[in-house]
Amino acid sequence: MTDGARNESGGLRRVRIDPVTRVEGHGRVTLLLDENNRVAQARLHIVEFRGFEKFIQGRPCEEVPILVQRLCGICPVSHLLAASKVLDQLAGVERLTPAAQKQRRLLHLGQVLQSHALHFFYLAAPDLLFGFDSEAQRRNIIGMLERNRDIALQGIRIRKYGQEVIRIICGKRIHGTGPLPGGMNKPLTGADRDHLLADIEQVVRWCQEGLALVRGIYLGNKEYQTRFAVFPSNFLSLVRPDGALELYDGRLRARDAEGQTVFDQVECRDYQRHLREEVRSWSYMKFPFLRALGSGNGWYRVGPLARINNCDSITTPLAEQARREFVQHGAGRPVHASLACHWARMIEALHCAEAIRELLDDPELLGRDLLVEGETSRREAVGVIEAPRGTLFHHYRIDGEGLVAKANLIVSTTSNNQAMNEAIRRVAAEYLDGRTLTEGLLNHIEVAIRAYDPCLSCATHALGRMPLRVELYDAGGELLNTLVKNGK
């Protein structure tokens, strides 16, 4: 497909964008130069999700949560839970039983924990520990195991623990079942709880150590960290009614680059009043933005950085302590550095571990009253959750026969789309030397993308090495240079 219809950015011209022919498994980036050979625009081309929205149209709604969890192999539980929240409402259930609610919360915490551990220890830490310019072959979990055995093993074990939480509740570590419209499908037993309790103290400690590690790396090279892919943006996340960090439920809050409130305590079902999605001719993906700020300035970031920047507190003590240190670093403003995502992510991992510990101590978790029958069913509902990578929206309308008539999903990677483009643009502007792409530039682009932990299938297939294809176009739209790097 050739985008010849619009000339969106002044002197920039036609760019051939063809998601169909893109190199299989590679993230694809195009860099566009302006007349003065400065990087004017960067575009990361991402597998788009509207295919799934179409795919579920006409399907019976009761199958949708299980169907949509196939969207992702890393955080399927997020889709399962967001869709299940919709199904609860369609069934006329506004409130689950305490046991069901707590099981879901536990499930979600396990999910975020394992996803964050995967990202930090498997994908990000090798870069951070070995340096971005180190031998590519070593920058992966295997290299970690050889050189930083303890840290790598901790990562593997934290991840395993999160997966164990999922397995206990869903029957499988990946793509199981559990949530039903109005509740959950099986009670947890004392043995299940004890099994998870056995390792939780250790997991909390490992998370503390992981957090200390990333914080140390960040602050140890502050100059670099605060220059690399730093750019102001708005932030969106769920928060609790008191403004505290919330991953499973809550209401929407958006803040601007200065930390000023754009909106707060917005009910999830009203999201379309405050968010809009724009279609751009060069991408199949949508670009959401905060309506109040318009499409030009309203783009925002989601995910750990957004959540830690946005919340006023964290309910668990160790993570709250860590949040305060993070806030101090921001000195009154939100922290905008892309690499601070890693720090924020580990604060959340610690919060998850602490919150899991609290839940395991809660006798209501083992309750056997798990299903609520709805009264008046509805035809349309919205389910929002903070997935590991950020706010995730599922919005369905069903017809009179319970088949999906319309679906709208905003996945976190879509929300972060513009932010990733911006991060790449900053990095490219700084590291592009003339008109030729270098391996070093590719590495830096990779690191910038990775900070946002995008849901690219390629981001995880390659043991931490992201297969990437970067194309450089001049202001005349001519392809100057292509550099491809494979995963292994």
Binding residues for another protein (CB under 8 A): 58-60, 62-63, 66-67, 70, 170-172, 175-178, 180, 185-186, 401-403
**CA–CA–CA angle 399, 400, 405 (5° rounding):** 5
Torsion of CA 89, 312, 360, 77, to 10 degrees: 50
Measured from the CB atom, the residue of 60 and 294 that comes closer to another protein is: 60
Instruction: List strand residue ranges (DSSP E) for 136-178, in order.
Output: none
The separation between CA 443 and the C-alpha centre of its own chain, rounded to angstroms, equals 21
Ramachandran assignment for 182, one of left (phi > 0), alpha (psi -120 to 50 degrees), beta (any other) = left
CB of 336 to another protein, least distance (A): 40
Measured from the CB atom, the residue of 180 and 441 that comes closer to another protein is: 180
CB of 407 to another protein, least distance (A): 14
Measured from the CB atom, the residue of 60 and 232 that comes closer to another protein is: 60
CB of 83 to another protein, least distance (A): 11
Measured from the CB atom, the residue of 185 and 438 that comes closer to another protein is: 185
Measured from the CB atom, the residue of 69 and 310 that comes closer to another protein is: 69
CB of 414 to another protein, least distance (A): 22
Measured from the CB atom, the residue of 63 and 150 that comes closer to another protein is: 63
CB of 348 to another protein, least distance (A): 28
Alpha-carbon distance of 256 to 271, in angstroms, equals 17
Measured from the CB atom, the residue of 70 and 149 that comes closer to another protein is: 70
Tokens of 128: 């951070």
Residues ≥6 apart with Cβ < 8 Å to 427: 228, 229, 441, 444, 445, 447, 448
Alpha-carbon distance of 144 to 150, in angstroms, equals 9
CB of 383 to another protein, least distance (A): 17
CB of 62 to another protein, least distance (A): 4
CB of 84 to another protein, least distance (A): 10
Measured from the CB atom, the residue of 192 and 422 that comes closer to another protein is: 192
Alpha-carbon distance of 436 to 428, in angstroms, equals 11
Contacts for 46-49: CB closer than 8 Å, 24+ residues apart: 46/283, 46/285, 46/413, 46/414, 46/417, 46/454, 46/455, 46/456, 47/19, 47/455, 47/456, 47/457, 48/19, 48/283, 48/284, 48/285, 49/285, 49/409, 49/411, 49/414
Residues ≥6 apart with Cβ < 8 Å to 338: 228, 229, 230, 231, 305, 423, 448, 451, 452
Contact in structure between 398 and 92 (CB atoms under 8 Å): no
Measured from the CB atom, the residue of 19 and 187 that comes closer to another protein is: 187
CB of 58 to another protein, least distance (A): 7
193 to 161, 203, 465: CA distances (angstroms): 13, 15, 37
Label residues 376-396 b or e (16+ Cβ within 10 Å = b): eeeeebbbbbbbbbbbbbbbb
Label residues 398-419 b or e (16+ Cβ within 10 Å = b): beeeeebeebbbbbbbbbbbbb
Measured from the CB atom, the residue of 180 and 339 that comes closer to another protein is: 180
Measured from the CB atom, the residue of 70 and 324 that comes closer to another protein is: 70
CB of 81 to another protein, least distance (A): 14
Tokens of 150: 């303890």
CB of 399 to another protein, least distance (A): 9
